[in-house]
Amino acid sequence: MHPQKLTHKAYKFHSLNKNMSESQSRYSIVERLILRKLEIMGSKSNLKEDVKKKEQKIGKLKKELENWKKDIQEDIKREERKKELEIDKSKQEFENLKEQMKDKEEVLDEQIKAIEEALKSIEEISKTSPNIQS
């Protein structure tokens, strides 16, 4: 081959190689930029997802608080009703005890009266009968 033709061919090859390198370099830059863009978009999406999750958590916590308040109110009502029933039961027991006391007092009063009458009878007998001394 002729040296000038060789130089021309070498020049063309070098030029083609340079163009390919520039092309590959541009392709590589574009590829890196696109990957970076995708990473940024992913980060942005993750941020939005995090915000959405936090918002949902707030809603869930509010709902739990409301349910807790309802449960507490129901517990308070149950306890209040239980205490009211205890009071009613104690009142009934008190009334029953008062009635029993009244009945027992009448029986005891009758026994006292009978004893007093017996003592009176003995006293009367003692006055009318002669004293017997041993």
In this predicted structure, the answer to whether residue 20 has a pLDDT above a threshold of 80 is no
Write down the pTM of the prediction. Answer: 0.47
Joined tokens for residue 2? 């002729």
- Band of residue 12 on the pLDDT scale cut at 50, 70, 90: low
Taking only the tens place, the pLDDT of each residue in 41-97 is 999 999 999 999 999 999 999 999 999 999 999 999 999 999 999 999 999 999 999
pLDDT of residue 5: 53
The pLDDT score that the predictor gives to residue 128 is 82
Residues 6+ apart with CB under 8 A from 9: 1
**What is the DSSP secondary structure assignment for residue 130, as one 8-state letter?**
P
